[in-house]
Amino acid sequence: MSVLDEDPLSHERLDVELGSSWEEAGGRFTIGTAMEIDALIEAGVEEADVFIASTNGDNTNLVVAQIAQRRFKVDRVIARVLDPRRAAWYQEQGLQTICPTQIAIEQLQQAALGEVL
Amino acid sequence: MEDGLYVIIAGAGKVGWNLARELLEKGHEVTCVEQDRRRYLTVEQELEHAVQYGDATELWVLERAGIQRADLVVAVTGDDEDNLLICQVAKEKYLCERIIARVNNPRNLDHFKLLGIQPAVSATDLILRLIEHEVPRYGLVHLLDLPEERLEIIELVVSETAPAAGREIQNLGLPEGALVISVLRGGSGFVPKADTVVEAGDEVLVVLDPGIEQDITDLFVGETAHG
């Protein structure tokens, strides 16, 4: 497991509740932005079997996921996309997307109808 | 440019706004899309209905702007990811035939190429080329690059010590895939013949296959030109 994040604080956050450090638990951490090829390589994209793009920006996720897919030929690439329509369209284009908004809508609908989740 | 194009411009910053103004003056129909409310209100005072408020990476915003009938989509926001994705959906989802993307950070240029977003225009790159043209440090200026067609045209100034100086074109030993197409001498240009003698100070235009620039530079500028 290798994490790439711009913010060193995210590294500290990973340690919390682990009881050991992230590295001791077998994790890797790279500080950098995923738009930089060097940072992706440093984080190990070339050896990755799975690549998950889950920054807080849809646009970054969609671009970076496509870089992992097309440039680094990662087998399984998943992008977090909040916008349901674009999530659906990119899924049709062959990029696996997870849309938290869509999931929330479905769960909220169930909750509103009194269904137990 | 042909008459009456419908152009969508994503981003009404300095580039987008001025571009919109120019295109409107030339008689084209333009819709500018700006996501910053304050900027939108400023620009709207001049462009009026030709600017819309919204995030052009959202599909409904592009649709509201009439992307289905757009002849050209120009993405000139300050965000490279946005520009990339706007052009990608314009091209692949809405089948807009012509797109132009602005690259803010030249390090992202490869991403645009990777995703097939061409042409991608980088101001830094343009300025670098101008500098190269004004101050040809390595004696070589790229005039035209057609990587798809594997063709480029370069300009060199023949140095005093160059192997080519004082020799006929036919005796230069030009590598395979290179052709001298023009010589500029004393302010005027001509197409050289096989027996044209290359002189120091000549500016020569060479069309060549990519990858043999160094051989050509060695020949016309000399070995010292290694950058």
Report the CATH number that the domain containing residue B219 is assigned in CATH. Answer: 3.30.70.1450
Distance from CA of A20 to the nearest CA of B (A): 36
Structural domain contains residue A12: no
A57, A62, A71 ranked by CB distance to B114: nearest: A71
Gap between the Cα atoms of A13 and A11, Å rounded: 5
Please tell me the predicted confidence (pLDDT) of residue B227: 42
Please tell me the predicted confidence (pLDDT) of residue B225: 45
Q: Which amino acid is at A43?
A: A
pTM of the model: 0.76
Looking at the structure, tell me whether residues B20 and B119 fall in a common domain.
yes
Looking at the structure, tell me whether residues B103 and B195 fall in a common domain.
no
Please tell me the predicted confidence (pLDDT) of residue B2: 60
Structural domain contains residue B152: yes
Q: Is A84 helix (H, G, I), strand (E, B) or coil?
A: helix
B59, B84, B89 ranked by CB distance to A63: nearest: B84
Q: Are B153 and B144 contacting, i.e. CB atoms less than 8 angstroms apart?
A: yes
Expressed as residue numbers, the domain containing B86 is: 6-124
Q: Domain containing B120 — which CATH number?
A: 3.40.50.720
Structural domain contains residue B84: yes
Q: With beta carbons under 8 A apart, name residues in chain A contacting B85.
A: 59, 62-63
Please tell me the predicted confidence (pLDDT) of residue B99: 96
Beta-carbon separation of B114 and A70 below 8 A: yes
Expressed as residue numbers, the domain containing A54 is: 50-117
Beta bridge mates, B6: B29
Beta bridge mates, B32: B9, B51
The number of C-alpha atoms within 13 Å of A43 and in the hemisphere containing its C-beta is 27
Looking at the structure, tell me whether residues B174 and B67 fall in a common domain.
no
Gap between the Cα atoms of B88 and B221, Å rounded: 42
Q: Are A3 and A32 contacting, i.e. CB atoms less than 8 angstroms apart?
A: no
Distance from CA of B191 to the nearest CA of A (A): 43
Q: For each of chain A's 117 residues, which pLDDT tens digit applies? A: 999 999 999 988 888 877 788 998 899 999 999 999 999 999 999 999 999 999 999 999 999 999 999 999 999 999 999 999 999 999 999 999 999 999 999 999 999 998 876
Looking at the structure, tell me whether residues B103 and B59 fall in a common domain.
yes
Work out how many domains chain B is built from and give that number.
Answer: 2
Q: For each of chain B's 227 residues, which pLDDT tens digit applies? A: 567 899 999 999 999 999 999 999 999 999 999 999 999 999 999 999 999 999 999 999 999 999 999 999 999 999 999 999 999 999 999 999 999 999 999 899 999 999 999 889 888 777 777 776 666 665 667 777 777 777 888 888 898 889 999 999 999 989 888 999 999 998 888 999 999 999 998 989 999 888 888 888 889 988 754 44
Beta bridge mates, B157: B203
With a CB cutoff of 8 Å and minimum separation 6, the contacts of A74 are: A45, A48, A49, A50, A51, A68
Looking at the structure, tell me whether residues B141 and B119 fall in a common domain.
no
Structural domain contains residue A73: yes
Q: With beta carbons under 8 A apart, name residues in chain B contacting A36.
A: 107
Both ends of chain A: CA-CA distance in Å? 30
Residue of B nearest to A57 (CA): B81
Work out how many domains chain A is built from and give that number.
Answer: 1
Q: Domain containing A104 — which CATH number?
A: 3.40.50.720
Structural domain contains residue B1: no
Beta-carbon separation of B115 and A36 below 8 A: no
Please tell me the predicted confidence (pLDDT) of residue B132: 67
Looking at the structure, tell me whether residues B177 and B117 fall in a common domain.
no
Structural domain contains residue A63: yes
Distance from CA of B173 to the nearest CA of A (A): 39
Q: CA angle at residue B154 from B153 to B155, to 5 degrees?
A: 135
Asked if the C-beta of A91 comes within 8 angstroms of chain B's C-beta atoms, the answer is no
B57, B107, B114 ranked by CB distance to A59: nearest: B57
Structural element, H or E, at residue A93: none
Gap between the Cα atoms of A1 and A17, Å rounded: 17
Asked if the C-beta of A93 comes within 8 angstroms of chain B's C-beta atoms, the answer is yes
Asked if the C-beta of B107 comes within 8 angstroms of chain A's C-beta atoms, the answer is yes
Q: What is the DSSP string of B16-58?
A: HHHHHHHHHHTT-EEEEEE--HHHHHHHHHHHGGGEEES-TTS
Residue of A nearest to B92 (CA): A93
